[in-house]
Amino acid sequence: MTPPLILVLCTGNSCRSHLAEGILRRALGTEYEVASAGSKPAGYVHPLAIRAMAEIGIDIASHTSKHLDEFLTRPVETIITVCGNADQACPIFPGQVNRHHFPFDDPAHATGTEDEQFAVFRRVRDEIKQVFEAYAAGRKDQAKRA
Protein backbone atom coordinates (compact mmCIF):
# COMPACT_ATOMS: atom_id res chain seq x y z
CA MET A 1 0.00 0.00 0.00
CA THR A 2 1.29 3.44 -0.95
CA PRO A 3 1.71 5.80 2.00
CA PRO A 4 -0.49 8.93 1.99
CA LEU A 5 1.18 11.94 0.34
CA ILE A 6 1.45 15.14 2.36
CA LEU A 7 2.46 18.08 0.16
CA VAL A 8 3.90 21.24 1.74
CA LEU A 9 3.43 24.29 -0.48
CA CYS A 10 5.06 27.71 -0.54
CA THR A 11 5.55 30.27 -3.27
CA GLY A 12 9.26 29.85 -4.04
CA ASN A 13 9.88 26.36 -2.63
CA SER A 14 13.33 27.47 -1.52
CA CYS A 15 13.08 27.81 2.29
CA ARG A 16 9.99 27.32 4.43
CA SER A 17 8.49 24.39 2.55
CA HIS A 18 11.82 22.54 2.59
CA LEU A 19 12.30 23.20 6.31
CA ALA A 20 8.79 21.82 6.92
CA GLU A 21 9.29 18.88 4.56
CA GLY A 22 12.49 17.78 6.30
CA ILE A 23 11.05 18.16 9.79
CA LEU A 24 7.77 16.44 8.93
CA ARG A 25 9.51 13.61 7.09
CA ARG A 26 11.67 12.89 10.15
CA ALA A 27 8.71 13.18 12.55
CA LEU A 28 6.35 10.92 10.58
CA GLY A 29 8.75 8.27 9.32
CA THR A 30 7.90 5.95 6.46
CA GLU A 31 4.16 5.72 7.10
CA TYR A 32 3.69 8.92 5.06
CA GLU A 33 5.28 10.37 1.96
CA VAL A 34 6.21 14.02 2.45
CA ALA A 35 7.14 16.36 -0.41
CA SER A 36 7.25 20.09 -1.06
CA ALA A 37 6.63 22.33 -4.04
CA GLY A 38 5.97 25.94 -4.97
CA SER A 39 3.58 27.99 -7.07
CA LYS A 40 6.56 29.98 -8.46
CA PRO A 41 9.64 27.85 -7.67
CA ALA A 42 12.89 29.73 -7.15
CA GLY A 43 14.88 26.94 -8.80
CA TYR A 44 17.13 26.31 -5.78
CA VAL A 45 17.05 25.48 -2.09
CA HIS A 46 18.47 28.36 -0.06
CA PRO A 47 21.93 27.53 1.34
CA LEU A 48 21.04 28.99 4.74
CA ALA A 49 18.00 26.67 4.91
CA ILE A 50 20.29 23.71 4.23
CA ARG A 51 22.69 24.93 6.93
CA ALA A 52 19.90 25.54 9.47
CA MET A 53 18.56 22.03 8.99
CA ALA A 54 22.03 20.47 9.22
CA GLU A 55 22.27 22.02 12.69
CA ILE A 56 19.40 19.83 13.86
CA GLY A 57 20.59 16.72 12.03
CA ILE A 58 18.35 16.88 8.96
CA ASP A 59 20.01 16.82 5.53
CA ILE A 60 18.03 18.66 2.85
CA ALA A 61 21.04 19.29 0.58
CA SER A 62 19.61 16.94 -2.06
CA HIS A 63 16.19 18.64 -2.12
CA THR A 64 15.20 20.44 -5.31
CA SER A 65 12.82 23.31 -5.96
CA LYS A 66 9.71 21.95 -7.73
CA HIS A 67 6.51 23.36 -9.21
CA LEU A 68 3.25 22.21 -7.64
CA ASP A 69 2.05 21.14 -11.11
CA GLU A 70 4.36 18.10 -10.79
CA PHE A 71 1.88 16.73 -8.23
CA LEU A 72 -1.42 17.44 -10.03
CA THR A 73 -1.69 13.86 -11.31
CA ARG A 74 -0.81 12.28 -7.96
CA PRO A 75 -3.27 11.43 -5.20
CA VAL A 76 -2.37 14.05 -2.56
CA GLU A 77 -3.96 13.25 0.80
CA THR A 78 -3.02 16.49 2.60
CA ILE A 79 -1.94 19.96 1.48
CA ILE A 80 -0.19 22.22 3.97
CA THR A 81 0.59 25.78 2.88
CA VAL A 82 3.24 27.72 4.77
CA CYS A 83 2.76 31.14 3.16
CA GLY A 84 -0.23 33.26 2.20
CA ASN A 85 0.54 33.39 -1.52
CA ALA A 86 0.67 29.61 -1.82
CA ASP A 87 -2.56 29.31 0.16
CA GLN A 88 -4.30 31.61 -2.32
CA ALA A 89 -2.77 29.92 -5.39
CA CYS A 90 -3.34 26.35 -4.20
CA PRO A 91 -5.40 24.23 -6.58
CA ILE A 92 -7.51 21.27 -5.50
CA PHE A 93 -5.59 18.03 -6.00
CA PRO A 94 -7.12 14.68 -6.96
CA GLY A 95 -7.92 12.68 -3.83
CA GLN A 96 -7.13 15.59 -1.52
CA VAL A 97 -8.74 15.00 1.84
CA ASN A 98 -7.13 17.59 4.14
CA ARG A 99 -5.91 21.15 3.81
CA HIS A 100 -4.09 23.20 6.42
CA HIS A 101 -2.50 26.64 6.44
CA PHE A 102 0.38 27.34 8.82
CA PRO A 103 1.94 30.70 7.80
CA PHE A 104 5.55 31.57 8.67
CA ASP A 105 7.84 34.53 7.93
CA ASP A 106 9.99 34.08 4.84
CA PRO A 107 13.62 33.89 5.98
CA ALA A 108 14.79 34.46 2.39
CA HIS A 109 13.83 38.11 2.89
CA ALA A 110 16.09 38.51 5.94
CA THR A 111 18.57 41.38 5.73
CA GLY A 112 21.82 42.25 7.46
CA THR A 113 25.00 40.27 7.82
CA GLU A 114 25.05 36.56 7.07
CA ASP A 115 24.96 35.88 10.82
CA GLU A 116 21.89 38.12 11.19
CA GLN A 117 20.19 36.41 8.24
CA PHE A 118 21.06 32.99 9.64
CA ALA A 119 19.48 33.95 12.97
CA VAL A 120 16.20 34.50 11.09
CA PHE A 121 16.53 31.08 9.40
CA ARG A 122 17.06 29.48 12.81
CA ARG A 123 14.04 31.25 14.29
CA VAL A 124 11.76 30.25 11.42
CA ARG A 125 13.14 26.69 11.47
CA ASP A 126 12.38 26.43 15.18
CA GLU A 127 8.85 27.81 14.70
CA ILE A 128 8.22 25.35 11.87
CA LYS A 129 9.68 22.52 13.96
CA GLN A 130 7.31 23.26 16.83
CA VAL A 131 4.21 23.36 14.61
CA PHE A 132 5.06 20.42 12.35
CA GLU A 133 6.20 18.11 15.15
CA ALA A 134 2.89 18.79 16.91
CA TYR A 135 1.03 18.13 13.64
CA ALA A 136 2.95 14.86 13.18
CA ALA A 137 2.15 13.76 16.74
CA GLY A 138 -1.52 14.42 16.06
CA ARG A 139 -1.42 12.40 12.84
CA LYS A 140 0.24 9.48 14.63
CA ASP A 141 -2.34 9.59 17.43
CA GLN A 142 -5.14 9.71 14.87
CA ALA A 143 -3.67 6.70 13.00
CA LYS A 144 -3.49 4.67 16.24
CA ARG A 145 -7.20 5.25 16.87
CA ALA A 146 -8.26 4.34 13.33
Which neighbouring-strand residues pair with 36?
8
Report pLDDT digits (tens) over 89-113.
Answer: 656 666 667 889 999 999 999 999 9
Residues 6+ apart with CB under 8 A from 65: 12, 13, 14, 38, 41, 42, 43, 44, 45
Helix (H, G, I), strand (E, B) or coil at 49: helix
Options 19, 90, 128, 136, the catalytic residue: 90
Question: The pTM is what?
Answer: 0.92
5-145: CATH topology is Rossmann fold (3.40.50)
Count the helix, strand and coil residues of the chain and give each as a percent rounded to the nearest 5. Answer: 50, 15, 35
Is 65 within 8 Å of 38 (Cβ atoms)? yes
> What tens digit of pLDDT does each residue of 42-69 get?
999 999 999 999 999 999 999 999 999 9
- Which of the residues 83, 110, 124, 136 is marked catalytic? 83
* Domain spans in the chain, listed from the N-terminal domain onward: 5-145
Is 15 catalytic? The answer is: no
